[in-house]
Amino acid sequence: MKPALTARQAGLLSCHVCGQLAQAPLDANQRSRCPRCAAPLHQRKPASINTTWALLVAAALLYLPANLLPIMVTSSPVNHQVDTIMSGVIFLWRDGQWPLALVVFFASVVVPLLKILALVYLTASVQMRSRHRVMQRARLYRVVEFVGRWSMLDIYVITLLVALVQFRGLATVDAGPAAVAFGAVIVLTMFAALTFDPRLIWDPLTDSETADHD
Amino acid sequence: MPADSPNPPAPLVACHECDLLQHDVPIAPGETARCVRCGAELARNPPDSLDRTLAYTLTAAILYVLANAFPLIGLELQGRYAEVTLFAAVRNLWHIGMQPVSALVFVTAQLFPLLEMLMILLVLVPLRLGRRSPRLVAFFRLVLSVRPWGMMEVFLLGMLVSLVKLAHSGSVILGTAFWATAALILILTLAGRAFDRRVLWRMSHPEGA
């Protein structure tokens, strides 16, 4: 089998929009654009590791208020209930609506947490130029990319309930401050997944091959 | 040693997930080419891509109008009735001091899905009419940057969760917009499957590869 050759080793840049291959400029700092679709070309996403770290730290910090502060306040003449994300899940569970409780638990609690942890693991392993479990990490990144959007679930539920349940004297629903923090966690982790460059996972493999040949 | 490398030969393609160079082999209609190393999708060849994508996207645009013009959900509680459209819900969040959340919902459930549909039509309709311009291709970049932020399918699940939560307090009525949104997501999925972005490069640069 021929040794694997990456575009970077061949001195080529591949356009992330149209896939066109173009010769990399001699000066690495020189900006170049795709000859076919004029998109900016980069060998790898610029400052990928640092940007991803910054976004992850911000997301991890905001994950706390998102889960500790109230997200929804329900009022009726007989009770006044202040819910965090988790207490809302427990309420659904005790109410016998456990399939719904599970959906909300996964979308709002598990997915954001696992997404942050998975991206921390991916970014750290890439920074240490790990050559272990490359395929598994590539798959993990695909899962993270796909699953992150589903965390928006609770935001949409609150949007609808707050708009619909405004019966003064009977029942009202209001949004709590955790909604803002939670929305920020989702946006930050989505940007973190977008700034992470999955090609960095594979780079250590081919780097060592070139070293061996030299 | 980039200085010595020859001009890129046409039949090569780099995997966008692992950067491996491999031959851009022709694929039969309906088939998908995957990276030999990491399994990422390299290319697809959906049949009749341009016509089918146009048909689905036009259908989606009509459904989008319905999904936004009519109420999503209605709720009746002890003789009182309330119903809500998507935009009314967004506006309500804005007025109660949740501007960042309101903006996030507006962008992900309303604005970006609309922009994506309009931009695809703006690119594909001239192509279908035989007008070829590299500007269209450059414009297509915007579609790709908007795409990850459209989350209508999550919004549909959000509606379902809201329904179950509300079913306790009163009688819930599914509005026209609920069904339009459900149909819209189905059609958008079909449109996504039918679309082959390579049509753009092939038709805009017929002299190229």
- How high is the pLDDT of residue A209? 54
Taking the domains of chain B in order of start, what are their residue ranges?
1-45, 48-204
At residue A22, the 3 state secondary structure works out as strand
**B20 CA to chain A: closest CA distance, Å?**
4
Q: Cα A130–A132–A133 angle (5° rounding)?
A: 130
Please report, rounded to a whole number, the percentage of residues in chain A having pLDDT higher than 70: 95
- How high is the pLDDT of residue B204? 63
User: What confidence tens digit (pLDDT) does each residue in A88-107 have?
Assistant: 899 889 988 888 899 999 99
Beta bridge partners, A74, equal A81, A173
Topology of domain B48-204 in CATH is Butyryl-CoA Dehydrogenase, subunit A; domain 3 (1.20.140)
Taking the domains of chain A in order of start, what are their residue ranges?
1-43, 45-213
**Among the partner residues A26, A156, A163, nearest to B2 by beta-carbon distance:** A26
Please report, rounded to a whole number, the percentage of residues in chain B having pLDDT higher than 90: 57
- How high is the pLDDT of residue B4? 47
For A26, list phi and psi in degrees, rounded to 5.
-65, -45
Minimal-distance CA residue of chain B relative to A196: B17
Name which of A4-18, A150-164, B37-51, B101-115 the model is least confident about.
A4-18
The architecture (CATH level 2) of A45-213 comes to: Up-down Bundle (1.20)
- How high is the pLDDT of residue A85? 93
Contact B78 A170 (CB under 8 A): yes
CA distances from residue A135 to A47, B37, B80, B99 in whole angstroms, order as listed: 23, 9, 57, 42
ipTM: 0.89
Hey, of B5, B12, B19, B93, which one would you mutate to test binding to chain A, going by the most A CBs within 10 A of its CB? B19
At residue B137, the 3 state secondary structure works out as helix
CB atoms inside a 10 Å sphere around CB A55: 23
pTM for the model stands at 0.89
pLDDT for A212 beyond 80? no
B107 vs A contacts (CB less than 8 Å): none
CB of A139 within 8 A of CB of A202? no
